[in-house]
Amino acid sequence: MDNKRKRGKQDRIRAAPKEDYEVRYVARKFRLNIALVRAVIARVGNLRGRVYAELRKLVARRKRQARKRKKW
């Protein structure tokens, strides 16, 4: 589990999948569901930069697909 007393840089660069409030924050930030965020964290690891990059790709892919559906 996350040590709440250690709030330095090393703690900020990681997204702890077992901490509900951290997963909720990331899910709300990207407007995704919690299960999807946990799956991405499991796939790419818990470094925030990698998780955010993967979620940005996912959101962009979904937007492209939505635009394609609207054209038809």
Is position 4 within any domain?
no
Is position 2 within any domain?
no
> CA–CA distance from 18 to each of 15, 58, 65 (Å)?
9, 22, 31
Q: To 5 degrees, how large is the angle CA 4–CA 55–CA 44?
A: 70
3-state secondary structure of 18: coil
Is position 67 within any domain?
yes
pLDDT at residue number 70: 72
Is position 1 within any domain?
no
Q: What is the pLDDT along the chain (72 residues), one digit of tens a residue?
A: 667 776 666 677 888 888 999 999 999 999 999 999 999 999 999 999 999 999 999 999 999 988 888 765
Is position 3 within any domain?
no
CB atoms within 10 A of CB 40: 23
Domain that holds residue 37: 9-71
What is the count of structural domains for the chain?
1
Tokens 């998780």 locate to 51
Is position 46 within any domain?
yes
